[in-house]
Structure formats: C-alpha cells, structure tokens
C-alpha cells in the first residue's frame, strides 16, 4: 500500500494501491496526472520501494505512455526538486540538448557563441555515457574549471556573463537521478517516453523558456534508426510544448565522428578553434545550424539566414571568444586556454595509424572510434571511474579524402605505448579505404517543430 502516514493527501487523490497502478499500466491503461504525481512523490519520500518503481518502469517500457502521461511524469520529476527562477535575467532563456554522439563537442562552442548574440544560455550538461563523450568531462579538462556550482551561483553567472555550464545538482530533478539509476540496471533505458521525461525534467528545471534539441541518428548515436530518432524528436517537441516551452529539434547525422578529435582535452581544443574562427567544416556547420535555431526561438533573429549571419559576425569579431573567457573565469578556470587552446594538456602520441594502400576513405565507424577512445581512458566503463582528459584519438582524414600508402589516417594519444598499439589496431579497422567515390551524408537530416 502507499504510505499514507507520510502523504495524507494521497487518500484524497485515489484509493488504488501501488500494485493496482502497476497492473493498470501493465494492462495498457492510462494513469491520471494525479496518480503519476503521487507515485513520484511517494518514491521520493520512501513510501514506494525501488522494486515497485522498477516494476512500474518495466510496465511503461512495454506499454508506453501517452503524451499526457509523459508530460505528467516530466512535471512530477521536474518538481521533485528546485526549479530555477531566472526571471532576473533579461531575455528569452534558451538551452540546447544533444542525445549524444562521438566527437560531439558542439556545446562548448555553441553556448558562448549564442550568448554573444544576446540569448542567455543556462546549460546543465552530463558526463560521458557509454561510447559517447560528455560535456562536463571536456570542460573539466580546463585547469581549475568547476562544474559543481550551486544553483544560486549558476543563476548569477547566467545573469552576469550570459552563459553558464554545470552538471546536474542534487537540487535539480532528484527523482530523475534515482529513476535513471534503476533504468540503467534493469534494461529500461531505451524507452522513448522515459527518455523524454528524463531529458525534459532536467532541462525545464533550469528555468529556460525554449529548448533546441539535437537528436543524433546513426551508428555512433543511441538512436540508430531514422524513424525511431524522428519519433523521439517529435515526442520531445510535443511534450516540451505541452509543458509551456517553445521547442525545435534537428535530426543530425552520426554515421561518422563529428569533427576530427575524440577525447576530452583534444575535443575542447577543437571547440575553441571554432570560436577562434577555425575548426572542421562539419563541426562548424552543426554549431551554426543549432545556433541559428537558438537565436530564432530566442527572438534575436528574423530568419535562419539572419541568425547565421549574426553567429558568423560574433565569431569574426571575437565576441564569442570573449564570452567564453568570461564564463571560464567565472567558473574558476584558466581563461587563457580559450584563445590559446595549446595550453590544454594532451597525452603523448603512442601510435600513428597509416594507410596501407592508396584510395579513398569510404567509411569511418563512429561506434568503433568511440569505443577505442573509451578503451584508452577517455571514457568510462563504470560510473565511478575517472577519465584521463589528455588521452584520445585525432583523425587526420575524413570520409571522401584521398590517401596514399604511408599517409597518417589517425593519431592515438595515451599513457601506455604497448596498450596504445593494441587499441590502434581497433582504430585501423574502423577506417575503411576503397576505390571510391565515398558517400558523405547530409549533416542535418530533418527539422521538427510544432
């Protein structure tokens, strides 16, 4: 039974037991917002056991949730902790969320660039998950940089600088943190309604007004299939809109790594190169595409073309660099690294992967590259594991490039030469050389907005 001594209001909401609610969802029935809210509240207060929540999650995994149920679950998890009040920050507050990919360091160049154009960006980011890297790990490669700020400090920096990037605190959507831990060990992660509620409960707790979503699709993403990725994107946009926020989603290709660097320090370097006017073309394009959407929902551009022009000007003028320097300094980091990325420490080069024949690079498997980066220490195989910021992989060629025998295809940075050589073989197998021509997919596959 639900513990009514802890929550007297439960009796007024409904008289069903927890078992009845789980059975109702198991049998495909809908739950009311009050029923879902009570389940989450009781879970937080100890009246609902972990095994009972797990049973509910498994029922949702197989039976799904309607948009109304997903919105109710999102709101319940959102209000399980603090919801930031950023009303003192002028303007429309906009964040961006990526579902994760290999080499995806877009947030590091995107957030300060958008802020430089006048849109406040409060961003709560995550760590690496599986074969995909995490924004927090990349930021912490900056000497002294702190991602564990209080909610009050977070709001202060957003107000004073225009952008702040931190990790999920104990105050932000704590129910989501506990529920995700259960999903992670009970094979209920890959469930669209649960993914939507998890993402949006954290994002809406930031005090944002609008959200731009980057739903990655392909071999290096969690969503491998375009139809499933589109279904996730539509659900995110619908539920965010139902929660009173403007939302836009882009489906972007993750069938090859984004940019040339995969790791932490080297990815941070590459993001700062974009801010300084350089960087790989695909990383620049992804940043501009998402940034243009953020300026549009933030009310700072009249069209996507106008938005891209404003973003390009902020790069050329150095405004984006100056905003990032201010943010890094405000969060305790060495701001010199933004304009001087070479200051970020890299591990020694332990292997060079060379072409064994002439031809064209026809494929680079992002999943294999991501797993190789994890194996060398750039990612985690356990949640409590530390990452080595300096290790990683640097691609010298992209899909479509011509190569000659002996030309470098990639470089591996690590701490152990013998271990590095073994991992280098995995990278070598991930890069395929053929006669060509190579197929280079379109970066932005679709755009979803209600």
Catalytic positions:
97, 176, 183, 198, 202
CB 108 within 8 A of CB 135: yes
**435 burial via Cβ count (<10 Å: 0-12, 13-18, 19+):** exposed
Q: Rounded to an integer, what distance in angstroms lies between the CA atom of residue 40 and that of residue 438?
A: 50
User: Which parts of 28-167 are beta strand (E)?
Assistant: 94-98, 121-125, 163-167
122 in helix, strand or coil?
strand
**DSSP string over 334-392:** -THHHH-GGGS--PPEEEEEE-SS-EEEEEE-HHHHHHHHHHHTSS-SSTTPPP-TT-E
Closest to 18 in 3D by CA, of 307, 326, 126, 31: 31
Q: Rounded to an integer, what distance in angstroms lies between the CA atom of residue 57 and that of residue 61?
A: 6
Q: What is the DSSP letter of 142?
A: S
Give the count of alpha carbons within 13 A of 414, CB side only: 22
Residues in the chain: 450
Q: Rounded to an integer, what distance in angstroms lies between the CA atom of residue 107 and that of residue 97?
A: 8
The two counts, helices (H) then strands (E), for the chain are: 18, 13
The C-alpha R_g of the chain, in whole angstroms, comes to 22
278 in helix, strand or coil?
coil
């Amino acid at each position: 039974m639900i513990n009514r001594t802890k929550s007297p209001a439960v009796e007024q909401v409904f008289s069903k037991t927890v078992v009845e609610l789980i059975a109702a969802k198991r049998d495909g029935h809908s739950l009311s917002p009050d029923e879902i809210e009570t389940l989450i509240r009781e879970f937080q207060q100890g009246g609902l056991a972990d095994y009972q929540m797990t049973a509910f999650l498994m029922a949702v995994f197989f039976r799904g949730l309607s948009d109304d149920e997903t919105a109710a679950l999102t709101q319940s998890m959102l209000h399980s902790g603090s919801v930031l009040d950023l009303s003192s920050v002028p303007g429309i507050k906009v964040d961006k969320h990526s579902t994760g990919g290999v080499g995806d360091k877009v947030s590091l160049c995107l957030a300060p660039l958008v802020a430089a154009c006048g849109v406040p960006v409060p961003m709560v980011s995550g760590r690496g998950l599986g074969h995909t890297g995490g924004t927090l790990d990349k930021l912490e490669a900056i000497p002294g940089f702190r991602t564990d700020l209080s909610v009050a400090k977070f709001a202060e920096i957003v107000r004073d600088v225009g952008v702040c990037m931190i990790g999920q605190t104990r105050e932000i959507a704590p129910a989501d943190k506990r529920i995700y831990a259960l999903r992670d060990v009970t094979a209920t992660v890959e469930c669209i309604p649960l993914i939507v509620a998890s993402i949006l409960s954290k994002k809406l707790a930031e005090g944002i007004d609008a959200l731009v979503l980057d739903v990655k699709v392909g071999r290096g993403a969690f969503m491998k299939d375009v139809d499933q990725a589109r279904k996730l994107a539509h659900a995110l946009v619908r539920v965010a809109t139902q929660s009173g926020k403007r939302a836009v989603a882009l489906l972007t290709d993750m069938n090859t790594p984004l940019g040339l660097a995969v790791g932490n320090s080297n990815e941070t370097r590459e993001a700062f190169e974009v801010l300084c006017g350089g960087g790989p073309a695909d990383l620049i394009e992804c940043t501009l595409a998402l940034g243009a959407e953020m300026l549009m929902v933030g009310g700072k551009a009249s069209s996507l073309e106008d938005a891209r022009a404003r973003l390009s000007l902020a790069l050329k003028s150095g405004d984006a660099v100056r905003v990032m320097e201010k943010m890094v300094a405000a969060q305790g980091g060495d701001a010199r690294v933004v304009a001087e990325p070479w200051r970020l420490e890299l591990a020694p080069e332990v292997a060079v992967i060379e072409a064994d024949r002439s031809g064209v690079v026809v494929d680079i498997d992002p999943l294999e590259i991501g797993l190789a980066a994890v194996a060398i220490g750039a990612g985690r195989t356990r949640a409590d594991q530390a990452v080595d910021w300096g290790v990683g992989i640097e691609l010298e060629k992209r899909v479509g490039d011509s190569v000659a025998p002996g030309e470098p295809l990639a470089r591996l940075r690590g701490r152990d030469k013998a271990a590095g050589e073994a991992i280098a073989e995995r990278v070598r197998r991930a890069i395929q050389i053929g006669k060509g021509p190579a197929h280079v997919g379109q970066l932005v596959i679709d755009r979803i907005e209600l």
